[in-house]
Chain A
Amino acid sequence: MKSHLDFMKLNEYLDKQLNKDEIEVVRAHLENCERCQRELVQITNFREALTKHLDEVLKEVSPESGWPERLMRRYARSRQRTKQSRWAWAANPRYRQAIALGAVALLLVVLYLPLEKRVPSQQQDQVERFVNPESFPSPEKELRLFGLDQRSEPDLEMVQPDQVKVFSSDDPAEVERVLEALQKANLRPVRRGKEVLVDRINQTEAEAVIRKITKQGGSG
């Protein structure tokens, strides 16, 4: 007779933790060993009694009264904390900086978008200008259209609606002198016949210049 089956092996046998070969060995031994049979019966009884008693204990044991209410209160508190903590990160200075940077980035994107749209149309214009130059005004005329051509003479035809008359004279030399003085003062005068016009915004300043030169002219 080989040595007896140990306690672990018998428990593993009961728990079906052995492989096929091991089970065969255990069964063969048990058939011929009364001592191991007794041990197996004792272990089985002990385990069954343990299950029965623990099961009864667990059925009888319960938390002190009112515990579902306590649990509910705790759950309600935890939900409240979760809701509060959902935005708590926003109070952190690091996150605040990130939020500010994000806002600036968003603003830049919004501002940049129209530019983006404009660039392709400019490129398209350049192509069109190359293919069909007649359909586009000359660059010089374009500048004058927008009043950006400082080098050009004031265009008699180009009178903008927000311009006001600041001087008028039958003497062309006088008109020329006023025109020159206003140009020197960078007030962008425009001549229309015997009249001199400036942007409404420059009216006061232009009138002061004109008063000055006409007084000088009068005294001289």
Chain B
Amino acid sequence: MLNEPERELVIKARKGDAMAFGVLAQKYGPRVYGAVLLMVRNPQDAEDIVQEAFLKALRNIGKFRQEASFGTWLQRIAYNLAYDLLRKRREIPGSDLLLLKTPIDPGTPDTLDRLELMQALAVLSPEMRAVVVLRHGEDLSIQEIADVLKIPTGTVKSRLYNGYRRLRDELTRLREEQK
């Protein structure tokens, strides 16, 4: 539900209030940017998508059903734009974890190493990666992913579970390489 202070911010931002716009951008931008970056794997594309999503969200706020926050509305638009880009652009899979500006600690004492995970994610097809990022990065349900990406739930499930399988295979391969 769009609460009152948020509604006010949105109305002000629509009218061109830089302060209100800045608050919304700081509040929701980074998280959406992160998920989009994991999906499209290019910082410039990710920033363009988030910008476009903000513009669309503010322009079309009248269509917003107010069942969720502005952030959720923004996420939906951004992920949809990212997914559209992925479908249009057939990319060559490869390791591009250097996109991440923050250093990744390779010694995380976990069953799943983050560095390895980022490498494994890069191997997934764009469609699979999008679904995995939305399910585990953004904690969306299968039905919500289907709604955002406008694909059947069956397709979401097959991409997600095949994505797990490919990730596991890739992680196994990477660990064997290290040995």
Cβ A55 vs Cβ B137 within 8 A = yes
Cβ A63 vs Cβ B50 within 8 A = yes
CB distance from A9 to the nearest CB of B (A): 10
Query: Is there a chain A Cβ closer than 8 Å to B26's Cβ?
Result: yes
CB distance from B48 to the nearest CB of A (A): 9
Give the docked Cα–Cα distance between A59 and B29 (Å): 11
Q: Which of A71-79, A112-120, A186-194 contacts B (4 or more CB under 8 A)?
A: A71-79
Give the docked Cα–Cα distance between A138 and B34 (Å): 94
Cβ B114 vs Cβ A67 within 8 A = no
Number of B interface residues in the complex (CB < 8 A):
49
Query: Is there a chain B Cβ closer than 8 Å to A157's Cβ?
Result: no
Give the docked Cα–Cα distance between A49 and B114 (Å): 9
Cβ B136 vs Cβ A74 within 8 A = no
Per DSSP, are chain A's interface residues mostly helix, strand or loop, or mixed? helix
CB distance from A45 to the nearest CB of B (A): 6
Give the docked Cα–Cα distance between A71 and B35 (Å): 18
Cβ B16 vs Cβ A46 within 8 A = no
CB distance from B127 to the nearest CB of A (A): 17
Query: Is there a chain A Cβ closer than 8 Å to B102's Cβ?
Result: yes
Cβ B54 vs Cβ A7 within 8 A = no
Give the docked Cα–Cα distance between A56 and B6 (Å): 26
Give the docked Cα–Cα distance between A79 and B18 (Å): 13
In the complex, which of the residues B18, B21, B38, B51 contacts A58, with contact meaning CB atoms closer than 8 Å?
B38
Among B123-162, those with CB < 8 Å from A are 132-133, 136-139, 142, 153, 157-158, 160-161
Q: What residue in chain A is nearest B142 (Cβ atoms)?
A: A15
Query: Is there a chain B Cβ closer than 8 Å to A17's Cβ?
Result: yes
Query: Is there a chain B Cβ closer than 8 Å to A43's Cβ?
Result: yes
In the complex, which of the residues A47, A52, A71 contacts B29, with contact meaning CB atoms closer than 8 Å?
A71
CB distance from A65 to the nearest CB of B (A): 10
Cβ B165 vs Cβ A7 within 8 A = yes
In the complex, which of the residues B55, B118, B133, B164 contacts A46, with contact meaning CB atoms closer than 8 Å?
B164
Cβ A17 vs Cβ B137 within 8 A = no
Please indicate the chain B residues that have their CB under 8 angstroms from the CB of A59 in the complex. Answer: 31, 34
Q: What residue in chain B is nearest A8 (Cβ atoms)?
A: B161
B residues near A (Cβ < 8 Å) are: 13, 16, 18, 21-22, 25-26, 29-31, 33-35, 37-38, 43, 46-47, 50-51, 54-55, 58-59, 100-102, 110-112, 114, 117-118, 132-133, 136-139, 142, 153, 157-158, 160-161, 164-165, 167-168
A residues near B (Cβ < 8 Å) are: 7-8, 11-12, 15, 17, 43, 45-47, 49-64, 67-68, 70-72, 74-76, 78-79
> Besides A15-B142, A67-B29, A68-B26, 15 other CB < 8 A contacts?
A46-B112, A46-B164, A49-B110, A49-B111, A53-B114, A55-B139, A57-B38, A57-B118, A58-B35, A59-B31, A60-B100, A64-B47, A64-B101, A71-B21, A75-B21
